[in-house]
Amino acid sequence: MLGITGTPGTGKKSIAPIVAERLGMRCVCLNDLAESYGLVSGKSGVVSTQKLRAKLHRYLPEKTVVYGHLLPYVVPPGSVSMVVVLRCEPGVLKERLRLRGYPPQKIVENVEAELIGVVSSDTFDTYGRAKTWEVDTTGASPIESASAVIEVAGPKPGGVQRIDWTLDYNSGTKLRLLLSTAG
């Protein structure tokens, strides 16, 4: 099983189905699965990760691309052969989320999470360095990003293993601008 994860807005929903099709695998969205099992709470949209984890144990076949930002919290390490974390430059991510209509506070939360690599760090902690790789989707189309994922997931993984956006935001002014809700 191949896992694809990342902060909301990094391209999982666009890229994972392309990867699955090219590899001849099934494609499963964790958010859709959680909804189908009634594990998403009403207004907040929070998923019961503990209950989803229990359901996944019986559901996911081996030849599957499974994707979602909850992956490192619900898919056990022994279930995946590799996990690719999709990353996006935080300023670009901010604009993507704004265009999707995210509320300002949710934009700031997700941009901050991407800046410091929350999903990436949790993925490396869960699956280890040998199974975890990152792909930068910032300037790439979904097809280009899918090709990069497939290349990384090949028999001899290559590419970037860790991306550090904090090096690009090395001043207080840049950080304030990035994390402001004003635009």
Residue 134, pLDDT score: 94
Contact by Cβ (8 Å): 169, 178: yes
- How many structural domains are present in the chain? 1
For residue 67, being part of any structural domain is answered with yes
Residue 155, pLDDT score: 67
Hey, what's the torsion of the CAs at 157, 135, 126, 38, to 10 degrees?
-120
Main-chain dihedrals φ then ψ at residue 107, nearest 5 degrees: -60, -50
For residue 99, being part of any structural domain is answered with no
For residue 9, being part of any structural domain is answered with yes
Q: How far apart are CA 11 and CA 23, in angstroms?
A: 18
For residue 108, being part of any structural domain is answered with no
For residue 110, being part of any structural domain is answered with no
Contact by Cβ (8 Å): 135, 160: yes
For residue 60, being part of any structural domain is answered with yes
- Tens-place pLDDT, residues 78-125: 889 999 999 999 999 999 999 999 999 999 999 999 999 999 999 999
Q: How far apart are CA 178 and CA 166, in angstroms?
A: 11
Domain boundaries, position 57? 2-89+118-162
For residue 29, being part of any structural domain is answered with yes
Q: What is the CATH number of the domain that holds 68?
A: 3.40.50.300
Q: How far apart are CA 173 and CA 112, in angstroms?
A: 15
